């Protein structure tokens, strides 16, 4: 688990929600809200100190004079820590459970145990949460505890189907169970309760009934005057999701709701937070790179302090899905970054392949310790390479824009045209650098690749790269096939050659085989 955690966290530092290919909308207030958020981030130490002071005041009242007071104090402190420190919250809720057990207070014990399952679910400890829930006799639970019971079950399966690394068939199974328990919750909770209204809002949104979802959101908003800040932040974030995620039509007002939600979360020092992740992507979309980095640094620092393995794993999974999309948008804006896109795409395929292998082997983690350590080392090295290249190309692009802009401002149109002329030499150098970086990364990940390929060829047909190269063109084609890119047209595009050349090289390679083609393909796939 530790190695997977490192792997995902390193990847997660470039997280963003999916880019739609156009600038996200803004209102006249958006700029001011962004500046307010950045100012709040400069005062995070103040907010953290205030939070710690409230926690210290709550702990100073311990142990309490009566059994009920001792229970309530520990349970209340667990609530205070719930979105601040997962381990601390679990510590105090366990103390509340122990107090209830020792004094035969079954109702209070069940209440605390249900709270514990929520914390375990958020932390990704699904088996432990399910074990506690399964140990509770359903027939003995009623009233408010029954509401909490179904709420805990629905939260568990929601976290499971939205979790990182779960196979698609299991996600569908967990989603179905979530739906069953959510409907059970809706059947027992008071229809005027915010828990009922929020779950109905999400149910209608998922069903595509956007206007009905907005109606429920407005019902929640009508009580905003009595809401505590965290609930209001959640309301604003849910309103944003209806527009962006469910309807797929983000508005400027929705983006403002998102930023306002993030501002509140920073003020109350919530570390289990999603809105900042979306804000970071929004800032990147509008080219506020430094501001996005500032938000990102705070977000991941808070996430690590919160201590949920699930949240960190989710961040990594989303990063791998999104990096390529963001690079594609950048490259559409300027053709000079085409080489970077090819390299990033190839590297992402290698990283995803490594992650899939690690994920499928999680139940054998003890016997595969060496493989996990190797995967962690590769991720540390090559995610760093991704960032270095990304930064390098942005720097080149900024320099290029500056030179062109300067020329145009001075009226040197000829000089600007000369700067924008395609350069064959430059493209050749970029391709050479691309192939060299890819070759190094691939051979490092698959060190036996050339040896395995040659073991399947006739003795006189073995491939021996020159001293100045790592992989030959034939080996590079096989490397792409190994990474799942089998279409000759795509291979030709990536290697900057003709499709006919790829076909010819593949045909020649088949003729050089000393084993059946099926066996050769199996050797390549099992490397």
- What is the Cα–Cα distance from 344 to 360, expressed in whole angstroms? 24
**In which residue are the tokens 């992740």 written?**
277
Measured at the alpha carbon of residue 267, what is the angle toward residues 8 and 283, in degrees to the nearest 5?
Answer: 55
Residue 476 contacts residue 450 (beta carbons within 8 Å):
no
Cα 359 to its chain centre, rounded Å, is: 15
- Class for domain 446-527, per CATH? mainly alpha
The residues, ordered by sequence, that sit 6+ positions from 275 with a Cβ below 8 Å of its Cβ are: 233, 236, 237, 240, 258, 261, 262, 265
The residues, ordered by sequence, that sit 6+ positions from 262 with a Cβ below 8 Å of its Cβ are: 37, 233, 273, 275, 276, 278, 279, 295
Taking alpha carbons only, the member of 12, 6, 7 closest to residue 300 is: 12
- In DSSP notation, 72-128 reads HHHHHHHHHHTTT-HHHHHHHHHHHHHHHHHTT-HHHHHHHHHHHHHHHHHTT-HHH
Residues 458-493: tens digit of each pLDDT: 888 888 888 888 888 888 888 888 888 888 888 888
- What is the Cα–Cα distance from 111 to 96, expressed in whole angstroms? 10
Residues 399-422: tens digit of each pLDDT: 767 877 787 887 887 777 776 665
pTM, entire model: 0.58
- What is the Cα–Cα distance from 272 to 304, expressed in whole angstroms? 10
Residue ranges of domains in the chain: 335-430, 446-527
Q: What is the 3-state secondary structure (H, E, C) of 434-488?
A: HHHHHHHHHHHHCCCHHHHHHHCECHHHCCCCCCCCCCCHHHHHHHHHHCCCCCH
Task: List the chain pLDDT tens, one digit each, 527 residues.
Answer: 444 433 443 444 333 344 444 467 899 999 999 999 999 999 989 999 999 999 999 999 999 889 999 999 999 999 998 888 889 999 999 999 999 999 999 999 999 999 999 999 888 888 999 999 999 988 889 889 999 999 999 999 998 887 766 678 888 899 999 999 999 999 999 999 999 999 999 999 999 999 999 999 999 988 877 789 999 999 999 999 999 989 988 899 999 999 999 999 999 988 887 788 888 888 888 888 888 888 888 888 888 888 776 666 665 554 444 444 454 544 555 554 555 566 666 666 666 666 675 666 555 544 445 554 555 555 555 555 555 555 665 766 677 678 777 878 878 877 777 766 655 455 567 677 778 878 887 887 788 888 888 888 888 888 888 888 888 888 888 888 888 888 888 888 888 888 888 888 888 888 888 888 888 888 777 76
Residue 371 contacts residue 355 (beta carbons within 8 Å):
no
- In DSSP notation, 156-201 reads HHHHHHTSTT--HHHHHHHHHHHHHHHHHHHHHS-TTSHHHHHHHH
Cα 424 to its chain centre, rounded Å, is: 38
Q: Which two tokens stand for residue 71?
A: 């229970």
276: left (phi over 0), alpha (psi -120 to 50) or beta: alpha
Instruction: Give the count of beta carbons closer than 10 Å to the beta carbon of residue 196.
Output: 19
Number of H helices, E strands in the chain: 25, 0
The residues, ordered by sequence, that sit 6+ positions from 450 with a Cβ below 8 Å of its Cβ are: 443, 463, 465, 471, 475
- What is the Cα–Cα distance from 19 to 5, expressed in whole angstroms? 26
Instruction: Give the count of beta carbons closer than 10 Å to the beta carbon of residue 357.
Output: 13
- What is the Cα–Cα distance from 451 to 472, expressed in whole angstroms? 13
Measured at the alpha carbon of residue 199, what is the angle toward residues 194 and 203, in degrees to the nearest 5?
Answer: 150
- What is the Cα–Cα distance from 481 to 523, expressed in whole angstroms? 12
Residue 88 contacts residue 81 (beta carbons within 8 Å):
yes
Cα Rg of the chain (Å, integer): 28
Q: Helix or strand or coil: residue 513? A: strand
- What is the Cα–Cα distance from 293 to 287, expressed in whole angstroms? 11
Residue 56 contacts residue 88 (beta carbons within 8 Å):
no
pLDDT score for 381: 55
Cα distance between the two ends of the chain: 24
The alpha carbon dihedral of 186, 190, 191, 192 has a sign of: negative
- What is the Cα–Cα distance from 359 to 219, expressed in whole angstroms? 42
């Amino acid at each position: 688990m530790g190695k997977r955690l490192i792997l995902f966290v390193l990847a997660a530092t470039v997280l963003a929600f999916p880019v739609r290919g156009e600038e996200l909308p803004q209102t006249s207030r958006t700029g001011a809200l962004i500046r307010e958020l950045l100012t709040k981030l400069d005062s995070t130490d103040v907010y953290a100190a205030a939070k710690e002071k409230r926690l210290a005041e709550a702990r100073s009242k311990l142990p309490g004079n009566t059994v009920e007071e001792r229970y309530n104090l520990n349970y209340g402190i667990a609530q205070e820590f719930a979105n601040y420190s997962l381990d601390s919250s679990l510590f105090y809720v366990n103390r509340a459970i122990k107090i209830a057990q020792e004094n035969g207070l079954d109702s209070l014990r069940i209440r605390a145990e249900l709270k514990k399952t929520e914390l375990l679910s958020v932390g990704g400890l699904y088996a432990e949460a399910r074990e506690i829930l399964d140990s509770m006799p359903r027939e003995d639970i009623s009233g408010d505890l029954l509401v909490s019971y179904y709420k805990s079950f629905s939260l568990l399966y929601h976290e499971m189907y939205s979790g990182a690394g779960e196979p698609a068939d299991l996600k569908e199974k967990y989603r179905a169970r979530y739906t069953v328990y959510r409907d059970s919750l809706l059947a027992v909770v008071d229809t005027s309760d915010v828990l009922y209204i929020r779950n109905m809002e999400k149910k209608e949104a998922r069903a595509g009934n956007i206007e009905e979802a907005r109606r429920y959101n407005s019902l929640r908003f009508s009580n905003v005057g009595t809401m505590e800040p965290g609930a209001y932040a959640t309301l604003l974030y849910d309103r944003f999701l209806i527009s962006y995620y469910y309807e797929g039509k983000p508005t400027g007002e929705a983006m403002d709701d998102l930023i306002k939600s993030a501002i509140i979360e920073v003020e109350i020092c919530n570390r289990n937070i999603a809105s900042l992740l979306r804000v970071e992507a929004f800032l990147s979309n509008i080219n506020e790179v430094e501001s996005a980095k500032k938000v990102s640094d705070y977000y991941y620092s808070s996430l690590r302090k919160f201590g949920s393995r699930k949240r960190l794993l989710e961040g990594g999974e989303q990063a791998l899905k999104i990096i390529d999309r963001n690079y594609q948008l950048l490259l559409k804006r300027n053709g000079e970054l085409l080489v970077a896109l090819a390299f990033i795409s190839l590297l992402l395929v290698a990283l995803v392949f490594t992650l899939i292998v690690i994920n499928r082997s999680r139940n054998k983690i003890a016997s595969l310790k060496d493989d996990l350590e190797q995967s962690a080392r590769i991720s540390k090295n090559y995610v760093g390479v991704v960032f270095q290249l990304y930064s390098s190309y942005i720097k080149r692009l900024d320099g290029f824009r500056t030179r062109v802009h300067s020329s145009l401002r001075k009226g040197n149109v000829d000089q600007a045209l000369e700067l924008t002329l395609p350069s064959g030499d430059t493209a050749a150098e970029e391709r050479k650098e691309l192939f060299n970086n890819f070759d190094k990364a691939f051979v490092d990940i698959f060190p036996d690749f050339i040896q395995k390929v040659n073991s399947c060829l006739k003795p006189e047909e073995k491939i021996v790269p020159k001293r100045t190269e790592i992989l030959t063109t034939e080996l590079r084609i096989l490397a792409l096939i190994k990474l799942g890119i089998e279409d000759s047209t795509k291979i030709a595009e990536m290697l900057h050659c003709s499709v006919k050349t790829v076909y010819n090289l593949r045909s020649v390679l088949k003729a050089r085989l000393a084993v059946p083609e099926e066996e050769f393909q199996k050797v390549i796939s099992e490397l």
